[in-house]
Amino acid sequence: MKFTHMTRTLAALLALLMLCTAIGCGKTEPADGTSQTTTAATEATAESTAATEATTRYPDDLPEDLSYNGQTVTFLYREEIAGEFHAESVNGDIVNDAIHESMLSVEERFGIDIQVMTRKGHTTDVRTEYLDHVDNQILAGDDTYDWVDMMMGLAVMRIQTGNYHNLLNLENLNLDQPWYIPNMKETASVADKLFFIVGDSSLGYLKTAFCFYVNHDVAKSYGIENLNALVKDGKWTIEKAMEFATIAAQDLNSDGKYDLEDQLGLVIHDANHRLGFMCSTGIQTFTKNADGSHSFTFGTDQDHAICTSIYQLKNETQGSYFYAGTNAVPSQVANYNKISSMFTGGQIMMITAEMDDVIACGYHTMEDEYGVLPYPKYDEAQEQYYTASRTTHNAFMMPINCPDPEMSAAVMEALSASNYQKVLPKYFELALKTKYAADAESAMMFDIIHDSMILDFGYIYTNVIGKPHNLFNNCIDSINSFASRIKGETGPIKKAYDNFIKTVNEKCPD
């Protein structure tokens, strides 16, 4: 297995190990309680050390003497979710305050003023107006915005306007750094160009990351092994998810089926969560060629085997339940919330989620011990875990008329690096109710999810290349029609891709 950016957890473990060795950790606690005092001091020292390291140097490779003499860099962000990127002031909330202080540190570093403007644009009724506003500003020659926040699934549609910079041309962006999605240049570029970036400048992609939440108390009551250790050892697979879902299930009403009236081992909580399995198991609907083009390759024997396994988990595993609705549809919210309450009440052992469901669905209020896991691999032979985000997440694009692209790129780079150090650990603490440096096992799960993030070409571009994600969903809903569905959809998907590439080449010669 390959995890290349585990530095935060490893540093925390090393600091704690050194401190524990110095004070004799593991000895019996004296009656006067001095062990508790020493432990508290140890944790405080570790946090203080980490904080000092985070503020004494910038881990990016930007020139140390960059200064922009009071210039302004302006971001546009969707108003409804702007808190994942910007905080006007401190208010005592640990994530809000970390976001505010991180952005302030970048302003002070470069001598700039970062302005964040907001506009409604997240919900379905205002998305088109938001997108049109941005393009109309550019066409009118208004260069107010240096960076604009786009919903990932819609950002790819705006590439075809030719109104946005190819970010691969900017020297001050180093997309190989750990605060960007790994391999983004290779996996998310089109026609050898990249028009958006995703990373730690905003919590958006992390909040929508597909994951599992697990009730560890329920798992222990059924004698299920340490799930965190299973993940760490690379053995968290679809087969294991099926096994545990069955073990932790009880047909409470004895009707011979498993539904919301029973004790459930696994619930797939949203119709959109099916796509988390497409990415986590290594399925690629499109494969990149040596010349930078893509070929539609979904439908191999391996794809069929993986889809069969996911189909069995979803439809044939005792104790597994698929909720075909979504919280985005008002009439389905009641059942969606009922399922959330079942998890917090201990009636479900494992539930698929997006990372921020821990807050939005109230999991952080649980009395039981809970934790987060990545989506499972297909099998143990799969080299590593892969994590995708629901494509409602943030992607930043730079308008073609941005006055100073390199200055704006430097701000993005510095902010991403700063958030990587200062904001992410605080979000982890809010989500899992534990200090990042004090819970190495849980922190490792968080790190694995963060460091295994991918932008799968077929998924993020699906809206402009024939919607191959719908083909995947249909295959795992009805595996017997796998071959016929592939045959019927291949032609239209290839044609949509070719038309998209033709438009990009015509509109975006840069």
Residue range 147-191, pLDDT digits in tens: 999 999 999 999 999 999 999 999 999 999 999 999 999 999 999
- Residues 323, 329: Cα–Cα separation, whole Å: 13
Work out the angle at residue 225's Cα, subtended by the Cα atoms of residues 221 and 228, and round it to the nearest 5 degrees. 115
Sheet strand arrangement including 147-151: 113-119, 72-78, 147-151, 394-397
Closest CA to 159 of 472, 406, 491, 465: 465
pLDDT the model gives residue 436: 66
Given a contact cutoff of 8 angstroms between Cβ atoms, the answer to whether 399 and 240 are in contact is no
Which bin fits 73, alpha (ψ -120 to 50), beta or left (φ > 0)?
A: beta
Residue with tokens 């203080």: 48
Work out the pLDDT band at 432, boundaries 50, 70, 90: confident
Residue 37 corresponds to which tokens in the numbers above? 């005092």
Q: Look over the chain and give the mean of its residue pLDDT values, rounded to a whole number.
A: 88
Tokens of 507: 């509109």
d(C-alpha 334, C-alpha 354), whole Å: 18
Q: Indicate the pLDDT class of residue 15, thresholds 50, 70 and 90.
A: very low
Which structure tokens are listed for 377?
Answer: 């691999």
C-alpha to C-alpha distance for 337 and 120, rounded to whole angstroms: 25
Averaged pLDDT for residues 434-462: 88
Q: What are the CA-CA distances from residue 31 to residues 27, 34, 35 (Å)?
A: 12, 8, 9
Q: Which residue has the tokens 């001091």?
A: 41
Tell how far CA 224 is from the center of its chain: 27
SS3 state of residue 329: coil
Reference 314, options 473, 456, 483, 484; nearest CA is: 473
User: Which of 29-38, 48-57, 227-236, 435-444 shows the highest mean pLDDT?
Assistant: 227-236
Query: In this predicted structure, what is the pLDDT of residue 59?
Result: 78
When pLDDT is cut at 50, 70 and 90, the band that residue 438 belongs to is low
Q: Per-residue confidence at 37, pLDDT binned at 50, 70, 90?
A: very low
- Provide mean pLDDT across the span 339-352: 97
Contacts of 452 (CB under 8 A, 6+ apart): 3, 374, 384, 385, 386, 387
Predicted pLDDT at 200: 96
Read off the pLDDT of residues 47-96 as tens digits, 9 standing for 90 and up. 444 444 444 345 799 998 899 999 999 999 999 999 999 999 999 999 99
Query: Rounded to whole angstroms, how far apart are CA atoms 105 and 269?
Result: 39
Give the integer Cα–Cα distance in Å for 12 and 446. Answer: 14
Placement of tokens 């991403």 in the chain: 416
Instruction: Give me 144's structure tokens.
Output: 């107010």
Phi, psi of 405 (to 5 degrees): -60, -40
302, amino acid identity: Q
Kindly report each contact of residues 86-93 with a partner whose C-beta sits within 8 Å and lies 24 or more positions away, as own/partner: 86/116
Which of helix, strand or coil describes residue 259?
coil
Is the pLDDT higher at 32 or at 405?
405
Structure confidence by residue, pLDDT tens digits, 359-372: 999 998 899 999 99
pLDDT tens, position by position, 389-427: 999 999 999 999 999 999 999 999 999 999 999 999 999
Q: Which residues pair with 75 in a beta bridge?
A: 116, 147
Average pLDDT over residues 303-315: 98
SS (H, E, C) 67-129: CCCCCEEEEEEEHHHHHHCCCCCCCCCHHHHHHHHHHHHHHHHHCCEEEEEEECCCCCCCHHH
pLDDT at 14 (0 to 100): 36
CA atoms within 13 A on the CB side of 344: 17
**Which of the four pLDDT bands, split at 50, 70 and 90, describes residue 440?**
confident
pLDDT digits (tens, 9 = 90+) for 260-270: 999 999 999 99
DSSP count for the chain of H helices, then E strands? 20, 11
Q: Which domains does the chain have, with CATH numbers?
A: 72-206+391-433 (3.40.190.10), 210-386+462-507 (3.40.190.10)
